[in-house]
Amino acid sequence: MVIILSVEGFGKPKVIHYTNVERVEVRNAERTWIRVLISKKDGAPTYAMRIFEIEPDGHIPLHDHPWEHEIFVLEGKLRIRIGDEVYEVSDGTAIYIPPNIPHEYWNVGDGILRFICTIPHKPTAPSQ
């Protein structure tokens, strides 16, 4: 049996614990950190997987962009605005934010808020 280990342009398999990925402070946000788990740099062709960590009282301000997010909450208490709705959710919640919908995040718990946020490499909708 021949097993292909790497296909040109798509990188190699990657297996990594999130705590072994560098944590970088997010600009234009408060008490918010990002770890880029899987990205273009790994050869991933379509989208990136990141972890956001927001400390208590931290906040990512309202913003929008012509691509979607698919999110999964791992730990903590998230208040999230999507369009004109506000939700409060905790671990085990999946969230889809369509392209061009404004969104905003707050940590409303006493501990760390941690969630996966995936994002396509390219815009998927016309800009508005």
- Using the minimum distance from each CB to a second copy, give the nearer residue, 54 or 73: 73
**Contact (CB, 8 A) for 78 and 115:** yes
24 scored as a contact of a second copy (CB under 8 A): no
112 scored as a contact of a second copy (CB under 8 A): no
**Contact (CB, 8 A) for 92 and 101:** no
**Contact (CB, 8 A) for 98 and 124:** no
Q: Please, what is the end-to-end C-alpha distance for the chain in angstroms? A: 51
What's the closest the beta carbon of residue 74 comes to a second copy, in angstroms?
A: 7
CA atoms within 13 A on the CB side of 88: 4
Residue ranges in 75-104 that form contacts with a second copy under rule CB under 8 A: 80, 82-85, 87, 89, 92-102
Give me the residues that bind a second copy (CB under 8 A), please: 3-7, 9-19, 21, 37-38, 42-47, 49, 67-68, 70, 72, 74, 80, 82-85, 87, 89, 92-102, 116, 118, 120, 124-125, 128
